[in-house]
């Protein structure tokens, strides 16, 4: 077996060109050629034209970069000896882990690895998944044995969509390997693009657990703020005003209430709770936090209807409502697990609902029609406006522009208090 002893011998292939894979490939391409594989032909063809619908990498950077070898041809993977997996790991409707993309990617790699190859997983999984599912699958298909014929590692992704400040170049990258040799080689590879900012975890399972607790912690903290915001609304005080005061204490942790969607924070706690339940432990706090955050769309809609009834407004079916923002958070195009979309589906039962988002990428015409997405908005038209996702473009235009869309005395729900001096009737 020819061992890789120098990072210059690495022939890198990355599987999955989404929000994680493409930025990762871009940073590695500054040092070496990268085979960038995705099964989505349209995605690859668009990237070749310089079109990144996720708005993570500019057209100029895509077209001018000769080290990015974009392909949907599986056979190109035979040129690789280092594979990094960055495919999605969502959950099913019953909230159990959906590993179909991970398993498909693993099977694909198993058909192309050679002796001495490395397989590194970045996709978020429950602790133990790499060693319990992925490695045995590679061994079965390839006939190779871990640490004899091939090596494995796990490096939790920390790409934050829409965040131009905290990127791979300046973040600390956690890495792990299946033995000391693989750990050292994986460390060298990632150190080459992170200014040597790496943290070596004790083992693969520890690295997996580190990733999943990062997002679970955030989810629980936001759920606490969401529950607190319900109390504040009952007390008829603004949550933001309370938090502004509390934040003056040196050790107060600054979290805000909000709608928790997306592919990470709203999903990862279910992976951790799944593993805990498998081991006979019921994670009460984790599941409680998830229950609160998952319930927020219903709570906002319920509060809106209660607000209208207090004003003695009852003919909801004639009211025109505008939902501003469809992505799971501000300044990104990703609509996965969007709570705004969940709210629209609930609101459609009572109101005439329009939605508008100049940033979100929604290719399916069926969804566009279902959500009643508008390309432009009429002035003085809406009875109710909900600012769900405060994109910078909304804030830049100012409250007067937003106000011009509503009828006289329109109702404004500013969910994240984006316009603190506006006439907001409700916020989280």
Q: How far apart are CA 311 and CA 339, in angstroms?
A: 26
Give the gyration radius of the chain's Cα atoms: 24
| Residue 383: DSSP 8-state | E
- Distance (Å, whole) CA 374 – CA 382: 13
Which residues, including other chains, have CB under 8 Å from residue 267's CB and lie 6 or more apart? 89, 90, 91, 124, 337
Q: CB within 8 A of 403, min separation 6: which ones?
A: 410, 422
Cα torsion 253, 23, 162, 361: sign: negative
Closest CA to 360 of 387, 381, 333, 394: 333
Those residues with Cβ within 8 angstroms of residue 422's Cβ, 6 or more apart along the chain or in another chain = 399, 402, 403, 412, 414
Bridge partners, 406 (sequence order):
382
* In 59-206, beta strands by DSSP E: 68-71, 82-85, 117-121, 150-154, 173-175, 198-200
In angstroms, rounded to a whole number, what is the distance separating the alpha carbons of residues 299 and 310?
A: 16
Q: Are 18 and 88 in contact (CB under 8 A)?
A: yes
Token representation of residue 343: 């709210």
Dist CA 377 CA 364 (whole Å): 21
Positions marked active-site:
264
């Amino acid at each position: 077996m020819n061992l890789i002893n120098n990072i210059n011998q690495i022939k890198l292939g990355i599987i999955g060109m989404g929000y994680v894979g493409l930025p990762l490939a871009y940073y590695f391409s500054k040092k070496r050629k990268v085979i960038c594989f995705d099964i989505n032909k349209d995605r690859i063809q668009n990237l070749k034209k310089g079109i990144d619908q996720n708005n993570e990498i500019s057209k100029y950077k895509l077209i001018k970069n000769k080290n990015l070898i974009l392909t949907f041809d599986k056979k190109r993977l035979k040129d690789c000896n280092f594979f990094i997996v960055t495919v999605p790991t969502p959950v099913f409707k019953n909230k159990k882990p959906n590993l179909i993309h991970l398993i498909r990617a693993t099977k694909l790699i198993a058909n192309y690895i050679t002796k001495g190859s490395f397989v590194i997983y970045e996709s978020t999984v429950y602790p133990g998944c790499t060693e319990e599912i992925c490695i045995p699958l590679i061994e079965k298909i390839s006939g190779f044995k871990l640490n004899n014929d091939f090596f494995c590692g796990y490096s939790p992704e920390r790409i934050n969509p829409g965040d131009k400040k905290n990127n791979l170049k300046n973040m600390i990258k956690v890495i792990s390997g299946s033995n000391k040799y693989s750990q050292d080689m994986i460390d060298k590879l990632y150190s080459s693009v992170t200014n040597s900012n790496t943290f070596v975890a004790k083992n693969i399972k520890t690295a997996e657990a580190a990733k999943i607790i990062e997002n679970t912690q955030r989810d629980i903290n936001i759920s606490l703020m969401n529950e607190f915001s319900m109390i504040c609304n009952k007390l008829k005080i603004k949550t933001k005003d309370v938090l502004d005061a509390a934040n003056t204490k040196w050790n107060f942790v600054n979290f805000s209430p909000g709608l928790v969607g997306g592919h990470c924070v709203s999903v990862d706690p279910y992976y951790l709770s799944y593993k805990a339940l498998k081991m006979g432990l019921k994670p009460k706090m984790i599941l409680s936090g998830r229950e609160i955050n998952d319930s927020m769309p219903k709570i906002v809609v319920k509060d809106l209807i209660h607000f209208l009834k207090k004003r003695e407004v009852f003919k909801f079916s004639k009211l025109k409502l505008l939902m501003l923002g469809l992505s799971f958070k501000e300044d990104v195009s990703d609509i996965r697990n969007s709570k705004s979309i969940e709210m629209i589906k609930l609101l459609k039962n009572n109101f005439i609902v329009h939605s508008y988002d100049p940033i979100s990428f929604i290719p399916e015409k069926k969804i566009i029609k279902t959500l009643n997405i508008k390309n432009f908005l009429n002035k003085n038209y809406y009875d109710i406006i909900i600012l769900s996702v405060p994109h910078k473009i909304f804030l830049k235009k100012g409250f007067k522009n937003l106000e011009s869309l509503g009828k006289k005395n329109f109702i404004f729900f500013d969910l994240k208090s984006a316009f603190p001096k506006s006439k907001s009737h409700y916020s989280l």
